[in-house]
Amino acid sequence: MGLLSRKIEKRIDLYQKELIETHYREVNNMYRQIRGWRHDYRNHIQTMKAYAASGDLESIKRYLDLLDEDLTTVDTVLKTGNQMTDAILNSKISLARSKGIEVVADAHIPVKLKSSEIDLCCIIGNLFDNAIDASLALEEGKRVIRVYMDMKGTQLYISFMNLTAEKKLKKEGKIYKSTKGEGHGFGLIRIDAIVERLDGYISRNSEDGAFTTEILLPQV
């Protein structure tokens, strides 16, 4: 392996480490919020009981509206059947929505996966980060990310689609040209390397202002 190749590999490994640490912080923050809400649950009940005892229905309604709004920020919005996937998907969905991005997600993983959690974390995390970056170039109200995951026979199928500001992105070789700098490019390289190592399949398509990535990962 040449000096340049070793430097690139080292930078990709560093990027992967930073990515995993970022995902860990996001997931940890989400569960910290959930634990905090659960801790306050008894206090919420006591407050509403006091309102009920005084017959103050309007205060109960206002309080329930506030609780509903608060819970929306920490609710686990997606349950795939796989804990690790739930964690990374829900943390990224929460992050995207905080940036004014609509997320439509449908994910089902009814079997134990052969793919390692680190590999899956890198793939899903990179796909989501890239989709979020691209969405931020659009006005709020036009930002949409669609996620679909399910088993197709013995393979895990992953599909990410996001709207883009450009009608069609330019390609450089097999990779679509990144407008987000070199970190974004390493993310694409990392996804491709994992898919190739797992004997999977990846397809990217940019048409009509939408960018789609489809991945198949064998699980036998």
Every domain of the chain and the residues it spans: 76-218
Per DSSP, 220 falls in state -
Q: Which of 194, 143, 202 is nearest to 176 (CA)?
A: 202
Q: How confident is the chain (220 residues) per 10-residue block, as mean pLDDT?
A: 64 64 62 63 77 85 76 62 80 86 89 80 89 92 94 93 77 53 65 93 90 93
- Range 76-218 classified under CATH 3.30.565.10: yes
pLDDT value, residue 37: 61
Reported pTM? 0.66
Given a contact cutoff of 8 angstroms between Cβ atoms, the answer to whether 145 and 42 are in contact is: no
pLDDT value at residue 24: 63
Structure confidence at residue 149 (pLDDT): 94
Residues in contact with 160: Cβ distance below 8 Å, sequence separation at least 6, in sequence order: 127, 128, 131, 145, 146, 147, 212, 213
Pairing of the two strands 155-163 and 144-152: antiparallel
- The CA angle 50-53-54, to the nearest 5 degrees, is 95
Give start and end residues of each alpha helix (H) in the chain. Answer: 3-39, 41-53, 57-72, 83-98, 117-135, 182-197
Query: Hey, is 146 helix, strand or coil?
Result: strand
Residues 6+ apart with CB under 8 A from 2: none
